[in-house]
């Protein structure tokens, strides 16, 4: 077990392990403008949604570890209190990476990275045409988390207007994650994308309260075949189901029964898995 004390270890090491472990992370493509009217565009993976009423997004431009300087995005939101946050897709990956280059102040990253600036309705910073979702935001507050290199600055943004490309919506007007194809950030040079093989659906336990793993029969709970995840599927039932006629119940070998149940659970057939195990 590798154990690290943040008060002893170098900031660069802490940074590496945080980004490697807290992953994948969504990416905020932040569009800002300075007092001279210069456009700035930069990605940040310290980012997420924190409230729907009011609608709040937060991203964090951290102070550079090397040199302990701040980024132009942070300077701009402190000056103008406005930002557009665009969602990054896999199709935008290389352009977004290019925009993260440490260009001098005043350089237009829209032009450098080949993105199209679209005038916003509520704020001065521009939307990104190539992004399927743009959030026009006012900056409610900026919270500095420290003065040393690596310290974050929480930019608390309230959404004023949302622009969504209808091509990413399904028939019920929900965002289809496969159509969105959002890009995510991991540690080092690693990125992730939402492919059909990497996504799965998991129903939330709404309306019922599962019995819990502690209430499973001992021979199931202590299985050497079934994983904790698989036990949780069984334990999501409100009660141990009643026995029914089931053709495979004649199997007497406990190990084989658990292997069969494991296969059924992998197919989403939890009721059948229960009947094998009873």
In the prediction, which pLDDT does 248 show? 63
In the prediction, which pLDDT does 250 show? 67
In the prediction, which pLDDT does 243 show? 86
In the prediction, which pLDDT does 204 show? 74
**Token code pair at residue 147:** 């003065």
What are 94-131's pLDDT values in tens digits? Answer: 999 999 999 999 999 999 999 999 999 999 999 999 99
The CA distance from 73 to 44, in Å, is 10
In the prediction, which pLDDT does 68 show? 81
| For the chain, domain boundaries | 11-193, 213-277
The CA distance from 140 to 253, in Å, is 63
Mean pLDDT to the nearest integer, 211-236: 94
Per-residue b or e along 203-224, where b marks 16 or more CB atoms closer than 10 Å to that residue's CB: eeeeeeeeeeeeebeeebeebe
Mean pLDDT to the nearest integer, 3-24: 94
User: What is the CATH superfamily name and number for domain 11-193?
Assistant: Electron Transport, Fmn-binding Protein; Chain A (2.30.110.10)
Per-residue b or e along 185-201, where b marks 16 or more CB atoms closer than 10 Å to that residue's CB: bbbeeebeebeeeeeee
Give the pTM.
0.89
In the prediction, which pLDDT does 206 show? 67
Number of Cβ within a 10 Å radius of residue 42: 23
Average pLDDT, the chain: 93
Report the alpha-carbon angle 66-72-75, nearest 5. Answer: 110
Report the alpha-carbon angle 191-193-198, nearest 5. Answer: 120
Show Cβ contacts of residue 274 under 8 Å, excluding neighbours closer than 6 positions: 234, 237, 240, 241, 261
């Amino acid at each position: 077990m590798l154990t690290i004390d943040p008060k002893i270890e170098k900031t660069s090491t802490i940074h590496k392990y945080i980004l490697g472990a807290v992953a994948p992370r969504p990416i905020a493509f932040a569009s800002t403008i300075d007092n001279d009217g210069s456009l700035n565009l930069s990605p940040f993976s310290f980012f997420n949604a924190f409230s729907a009423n009011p609608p709040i997004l937060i991203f964090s431009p951290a102070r550079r570890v090397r040199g302990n300087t701040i980024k132009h995005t942070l300077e701009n939101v402190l000056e103008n209190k406005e930002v557009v946050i665009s969602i990054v897709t896999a199709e935008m990956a290389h352009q977004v990476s290019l925009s993260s280059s440490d260009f001098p102040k005043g350089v237009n990253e829209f032009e450098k990275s080949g993105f199209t600036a679209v005038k916003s309705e509520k704020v001065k910073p521009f939307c990104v045409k190539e992004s399927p979702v743009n959030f026009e935001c006012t900056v409610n507050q900026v919270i500095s988390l420290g003065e040393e290199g690596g310290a974050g600055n929480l930019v608390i943004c309230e959404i004023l207007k949302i622009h969504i490309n209808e091509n990413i919506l399904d028939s019920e007007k929900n965002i289809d994650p496969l159509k969105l194809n959002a890009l995510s950030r991991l540690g080092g040079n690693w990125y992730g994308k939402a492919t059909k093989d990497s996504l799965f659906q998991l129903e939330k336990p709404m309306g019922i309260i599962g019995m819990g793993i502690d209430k499973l029969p001992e021979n199931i709970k202590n299985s050497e075949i079934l994983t904790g995840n698989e036990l949780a599927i069984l334990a999501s039932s409100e009660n141990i189901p009643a026995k029914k006629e089931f053709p495979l119940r004649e199997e007497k070998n406990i190990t084989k029964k658990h292997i069969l149940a494991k296969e059924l659970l992998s197919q989403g057939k939890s009721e059948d898995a229960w009947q094998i195990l009873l």
